[in-house]
Amino acid sequence: MAYIDFISPLHKKTKRDYLGRVNEFPKAEAAKVACQFGKEYWDGDRKFGYGGYNYDGRWRAVADLLVSHYNLKPGDKVLDVGCGKAFLLYDLMQAVPGLAVSGIDISQHGIDTAKEEVQPFLQVADAAKLPFPDQHFDLIISINALHNLSCEKLEAALKEIERVGKKNKYLVVESFRNEEEKVNLLYWQLTCRSFYSPEDWQWWFQRTGYKGDHSFIFFE
């Protein structure tokens, strides 16, 4: 297991008004809408989620890093757990023609609004019960998704990732290193069920036998 940060440069490009997020609209009401993971979350008002999530190529740099680090080649099988609109999977397909991609998400809207080229490889499914055989994938990725699960589902999802993967796995979850970052995370998040310090995330990895690589998103 290694800490590998492919995500921070992309994460830090977004400017966040933490107090504005809390004060502009009742946070609990916004969270209720966001946790449905429907159209409002992806393509509605910013207070409910992304505020319109459209393909703009921002994930291509991450895709190239994944390809290089994990030596992906045509025919390799890649799964994205919590793929959303699967823009990263699309960019991986462009980076490595012939890559065999799969994506699962609980959001029907996310999958329905993915790019047409990747839609045939996506399905609505539960991260805690992946619909794939043992040791099926050469690489499993999960970017900014697992922290949305309750403890029971998180434990099951980490075990499932280990079950269906071979050697290489890479996940990114939200975390905090101090009280300021914890408050910022709580102000900004809408859908989190599991938010832990890096040390507590390590406890989860050990508990579930997760042996893949990981990175954290911090709200500085």
Q: What is the pLDDT of residue 147?
A: 98
3-state secondary structure the chain: CCECCCCHHHHCCCCCCHHHHHHCCCHHHHHHHHCCCCHHHHHCCHHHCCCCCCCCCCCHHHHHHHHHHHCCCCCCEEEEECCCCCHHHHHHHHHCCCCEEEEEECCHHHHHCCCCCCHHHEEECCCCCCCCCCCCEEEEEEECCHHHCCHHHHHHHHHHHHHHEEEEEEEEEEECCCHHHHHHHHHHCCCCCCCECHHHHHHHHHHHCCCCEEEEEECC
Q: What is the pLDDT of residue 1?
A: 83
1 assigned to some structural domain: no
Q: Write out the residue range of the structural domain in which residue 108 sits.
A: 8-218
Would you give per-residue pLDDT tens digits along the chain (220 residues)?
A: 899 999 999 999 888 999 988 898 999 999 999 999 999 999 999 999 999 999 999 999 999 999 999 999 999 999 999 999 999 999 999 999 999 999 999 999 999 999 999 999 999 999 999 999 999 999 999 999 999 999 999 999 999 999 999 989 999 999 999 999 999 999 999 999 999 999 999 999 999 999 999 999 999 9
Give me the CATH number covering residue 171. 3.40.50.150
3 assigned to some structural domain: no
184 assigned to some structural domain: yes
Tally of domains within the chain:
1
76 assigned to some structural domain: yes
- The pTM of this model reads 0.96
On whether the CB atoms of residues 103 and 79 are closer than 8 A, the answer is yes
pLDDT tens readout for residues 27-58: 999 999 999 999 999 999 999 999 999 999 99
Arithmetic mean of pLDDT over the chain: 97
90 assigned to some structural domain: yes
137 assigned to some structural domain: yes
212 assigned to some structural domain: yes
